[in-house]
């Protein structure tokens, strides 16, 4: 049976009978979990298994936002508190080789912790630039202001995740770093000229165009499409993401429940898919919202299905690893994980 073009969340740490029936009927391509869904190791493994069973798809990717720093859904004792991107970028400014290895090992450790619980996809790394004065929703989640550094460190992060069997999702394409608003709460508008965007914010995404998956930005770029944010803009998707950047991996929307988007959930879903997203993402587990969304979600087919298959193929390919040695390397640089 063919999966539907969506990634969905669930309400709590255990699936309800209603959720099981809903997911059995919908057959989502993937799932995403948050802190509300995670209590213990055994419970998390059981929930992930239940989600895949409900979708009748042992290969369904299960995503989580595990960047380190503020954006980390798994916490001690299930996973160490990892550093955000910023200190790795600071190290890159003085010792690029050490920073690249540190980022790779840090993300290899993230993957090691995730796969132990059954996760096989991480919404990371964040390739947004850090712009002084912009909203802190990105802030220290960014590696640097320098697009060259962000691209290099982002590649190292992707390498670490994939070496650990976890499929990465670069975000927020084509760039959220200039936003002066939090798209969880309102719609950011960026008025920077296209040439400047291409030389800066867009550059890391273009450099990492071979990434298996990317998540869109709920941001309006007036120089490209003043009428619609990137997630629902065919112009941004086709001219910038698929065209200028050359990204041909799986494109997923950012969370459709975020307040940057307007209209009904059905209209948000239709607009995102019509603009060119391969799959839509909905995170909060609200059954009414999900029902409206899936009413507009087709089965995966054509090029979207091919991209989805390629993204899944990046997961679960685990290379040999020495976790203790990786932690020791990071500790020598003052970048090791912590229990508090």
Domains parsed from the chain with CATH numbers: 4-332 (3.20.20.300)
pLDDT at 64 over 80: yes
Q: What would the pLDDT profile of 142-164 be if each residue is shown by its tens digit? A: 999 999 999 999 999 999 999 99
What would the two tokens of residue 89 be?
Answer: 């970028």
Strand partners, 282: 8
**Interval 90-130: pLDDT, tens:** 999 999 999 999 999 999 999 999 999 999 999 999 999 99
**Among 254, 270, 278, 282, which one carries the catalytic annotation?**
254
Annotated catalytic residue: which of 56, 136, 184, 322? 184
Strand partners, 220: 189
What percentage of the chain carries pLDDT values higher than 90? Answer: 94
Active site residue 201: no
Residue 97 C-alpha from the chain's centroid: 26
Give the pLDDT band of residue 189 (cuts 50, 70, 90). Answer: very high
State residue 288's pLDDT score.
97
For residue 333, pLDDT beyond 80: yes
Q: Is the pLDDT of residue 31 over 80?
A: yes
Handedness of CA 223, 228, 234, 238 (dihedral sign): positive
Provide φ and ψ at 97, rounded to 5°. Answer: -65, -45
The arithmetic mean of pLDDT across residues 300-313, rounded, is 97
Say how many CA atoms lie within 13 Å of 318 toward its Cβ: 18
Give the model's pLDDT for residue 180: 80
pLDDT value at 340 more than 90? no
**Range among 180-189, 202-211, 255-264 with highest mean pLDDT value:** 202-211
Instruction: Check if 184 is active-site.
Output: yes
Per-residue exposure over 179-217, b if at least 16 CB sit within 10 Å of its own CB, e if not: bebbbeeebbebeeeeeebbebbbbbbbbbbebbbbbbb
> Average pLDDT for residues 303-326, to the nearest whole number?
96
Residues in the chain: 340
| Mean pLDDT, all residues of the chain | 96
Cβ–Cβ < 8 Å for 314, 339 = no
197 to each of 176, 190, 207, 232, 272, how far by Cα in Å? Answer: 11, 10, 14, 19, 22
Q: What local confidence, expressed as pLDDT, does residue 186 receive?
A: 87
Query: Model pTM?
Result: 0.96
- Flag whether pLDDT at 1 surpasses 80: no
């Amino acid at each position: 049976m063919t999966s539907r073009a969506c990634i969905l969340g669930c309400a709590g740490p255990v699936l309800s009978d209603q959720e099981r029936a809903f997911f059995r009927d919908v057959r989502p391509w993937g799932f995403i979990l948050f802190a509300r869904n995670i209590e213990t190791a055994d419970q998390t493994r059981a929930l992930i298994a239940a989600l895949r069973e409900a979708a009748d798809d042992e290969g369904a990717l299960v995503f989580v936002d595990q960047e380190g720093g503020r954006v980390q859904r798994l916490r001690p004792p299930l996973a160490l508190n990892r550093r955000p991107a910023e200190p790795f970028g600071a190290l890159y400014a003085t010792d690029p080789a050490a920073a690249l290895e540190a980022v790779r090992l840090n993300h290899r450790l993230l993957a090691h912790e995730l796969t132990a619980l059954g996760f096989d996809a991480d919404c990371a790394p964040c390739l947004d630039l850090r712009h002084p004065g912009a909203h802190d929703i990105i802030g220290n989640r960014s590696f640097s202001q320098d697009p060259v550094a962000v691209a290099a460190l982002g590649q190292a992060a992707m390498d670490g995740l994939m070496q650990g069997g976890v499929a990465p999702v670069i975000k927020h394409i084509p760039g959220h770093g200039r936003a002066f608003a939090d798209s969880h709460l309102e719609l950011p508008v960026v008025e920077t000229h296209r040439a400047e965007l291409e030389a800066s914010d867009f550059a890391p995404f273009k450099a990492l165009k071979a990434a298996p998956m990317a998540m869109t930005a709920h941001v309006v770029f007036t120089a490209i499409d003043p009428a619609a944010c990137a997630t629902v803009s065919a112009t941004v998707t086709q001219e910038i993401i698929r065209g200028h950047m050359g990204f041909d991996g799986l494109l997923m929307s950012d969370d459709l429940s975020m307040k940057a988007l307007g209209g009904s959930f059905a209209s948000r879903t239709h607009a995102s898919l019509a603009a060119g997203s391969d799959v839509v993402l909905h995170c909060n587990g609200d059954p009414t919202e999900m029902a409206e969304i899936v009413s507009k979600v087709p089965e995966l087919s054509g090029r979207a299905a091919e991209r989805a298959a390629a993204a899944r193929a990046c997961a679960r390919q685990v290379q040999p690893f020495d976790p203790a040695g990786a932690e020791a390397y990071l500790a020598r640089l003052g970048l090791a994980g912590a229990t508090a």
